[in-house]
Amino acid sequence: DKKDSGSASDPDAPKKDVKVALILEGSIADMSWNATAYEGLKRIEGLGATIGHTENTPVASAADAIRAFASDGYDVIFMSSNSFQDVAVETAKEFPDVQFFLINSAATESNIRSFAIQDAEQGFLMGALAALLSVNNKVGFIGGLPINPIINGGKGFEQGAKYVNPDIEIMSQNTGNFDDAVAAKELAKQFVSEGVDVLCPMANQASLGVMEAAEETGVLAIGSGRNQETVAPNAAVVAIIKDTSIAYEAAYKSYLEGKMPEEILPMGAAQGVIYIGEYYKDDISQDIKDKLNDIQQKLAAGEIKIKLD
């Protein structure tokens, strides 16, 4: 019976009760990728859909998750990681009238649409701002598990920093996981001892470690998601936010309107998915802010192209 799936949609919702599911590879508490994805699902709920999700779903279970949702009458299924692509393409065949959205995937079968989050643009903005802020011309990027978004973020970061200052020194490393905040913090400290004076984490919840390191060593830090600043009241400058929730909402809207473009939907600065959050420090010169906004516009307008390999 479906009663227990506690339908949160209010009775006088606009359309027929659409059921939307989200399958997450990570934890919704990761303060970034999965967290914003979950926010997206919430937004969709706000549009009157009934929602359901699974977290920490390993690739090996993705197929079961899809089958479970589909057989429970879900109409739309979002898959939040490129790891799921193969499984999704396989399993989607079993459910032709379920609409699938794959994040960071290249697949576009009949009932599958994919959109590509422009992680590199987030990195680019972080790099650019870091370069603008850096006094000793040395900036650091700390990634977590070297998966696609992180790697591209790193590439974007380097190009962004070089974009504003061709001869800036860049330190970039991955801690190898998203859980170990201590590792992130220690690595960050090492960076600082190497002269880095602006730190940029892209390691989900482990990012907090980097922010804290910045706070303790008195350098600046640029967040990669909301809620990271609290542990670094003095160090946190701003967060360059990759708000996939907007992407999800957009995708869902296009589904409701029944006009979903064949090609892979890019989701970046242009779509407002990647943007500059509100500044936490007021001593940031307007000049810098303008430069950064300008870069963001260029990215949105496609005037800046980021090379990914």
* In the complex, minimum distance from the CB of residue 248 to other proteins, in angstroms, rounded to a whole number: 14
In terms of Cβ atoms closer than 10 Å to its own Cβ (0-12, 13-18, 19+), residue 148 is middle
Q: Is 215 strand, coil or helix?
A: helix
Nearer to other proteins, 55 or 109 (CB): 55
Closest listed residue to residue 148, CA positions, set 176, 183, 119:
119
Instruction: Give the tokens for residue 279.
Output: 């500044």
Sign of CA dihedral 30, 64, 250, 47: negative
Nearer to other proteins, 176 or 289 (CB): 176
Nearer to other proteins, 201 or 295 (CB): 201
Nearer to other proteins, 104 or 271 (CB): 104
| Structural Rg of the chain based on CA atoms | 20
Residue holding tokens 């004076």?
197
List 143's β-bridge partners, or say none. 174, 202
Q: Which helix (H) or strand (E) holds 236?
A: strand 236-242
Helix, strand counts (H, E) of the chain: 9, 12
Nearer to other proteins, 39 or 163 (CB): 39
* In the complex, minimum distance from the CB of residue 97 to other proteins, in angstroms, rounded to a whole number: 19
* In the complex, minimum distance from the CB of residue 96 to other proteins, in angstroms, rounded to a whole number: 18
